[in-house]
């Protein structure tokens, strides 16, 4: 499973990238707005920092303008992936940009049928939102499982990018049902390493080692 970081915080992206836990980055206008910085500048800096795809979202709602914005975003760097909403206009823009060779991430997916449409239009990634479905008492993880089955049935190459991940359990379940990618905030990714028995075991080992009076260096 590929790990994307859902953030525009360069420091946190860099920290995880240095560990080897960043295969790509997802952003959206809301995330970048919180930084108070210029949208294109932030995207450009992230693209220099990581080698993998960096999703930059259009803000237009009409297909033609989405295509224009997508082409403009693509000029920022070679690893920009144009993020488009799962509307009919977004799908039309996805089809046009995909035929031009531009990587696309179709976002705000909440049903298997929507995912099927995105794959038909050549999307590089489809982003089903797990947490937001859970918020309205629907099963977000079932959506991932359904999309996986549909894509495998027909050999679609669109990658399932599990989004709106709120917990480490979401990450585990997405991996179990075969999501190709997951995107999560830096804090969730860091928490994957945490377990009380690991902490307890390490404390015991260090205590026993201290008793020996030895050093390795």
Domain residue ranges of the chain, discontinuous segments joined by +? 2-212
pLDDT of 60: 97
pLDDT of 138: 87
pLDDT of 33: 85
pLDDT of 175: 98
Closest CA to 160 of 169, 149, 147: 147
Q: Where are the beta strands (DSSP E) in the chain?
A: 2-6, 24-26, 54-57, 80-85, 104-109, 125-128, 159-162, 181-184
Enzyme catalytic residues: 83
pLDDT of 28: 84
2-212 CATH: 3.20.20.70
Q: In the chain, which stretches have pLDDT less than 70?
A: none
pLDDT of 36: 84
The two three-digit tokens of residue 182, written as one number: 């997951």
Q: List residues bridging with 182 in a β-sheet.
A: 3, 162
pLDDT of 30: 84
pLDDT of 31: 84
């Amino acid at each position: 499973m590929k790990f994307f970081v859902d953030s525009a915080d360069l420091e946190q992206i860099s920290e995880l990238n240095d560990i080897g836990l960043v295969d790509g980055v997802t952003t959206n206008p809301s995330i970048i707005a919180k930084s108070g910085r210029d949208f294109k500048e932030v995207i450009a800096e992230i693209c220099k920092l990581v080698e993998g795809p960096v999703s930059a979202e259009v803000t237009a709602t009409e297909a033609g303008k989405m295509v224009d914005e997508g082409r403009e975003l693509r000029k920022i760097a070679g690893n920009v992936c144009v993020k488009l909403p799962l509307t009919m206009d977004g799908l039309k823009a996805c089809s046009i940009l995909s035929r031009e060779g531009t990587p696309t991430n179709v976002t705000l997916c909440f049903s298997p049928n929507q995912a099927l449409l995105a794959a038909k239009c050549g999307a590089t990634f489809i982003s089903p939102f797990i947490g937001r479905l859970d918020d309205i008492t629907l099963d977000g993880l079932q959506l991932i499982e359904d999309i996986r089955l549909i894509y495998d049935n027909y050999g679609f190459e669109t990658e399932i990018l599990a989004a709106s991940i709120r917990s480490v359990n979401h990450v585990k379940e997405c991996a179990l049902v075969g999501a190709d990618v997951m995107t999560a905030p830096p804090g969730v990714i860091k928490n994957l390493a945490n377990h009380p028995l690991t902490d307890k075991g390490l404390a015991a080992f260090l205590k026993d080692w201290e008793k020996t009076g030895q050093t390795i260096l």
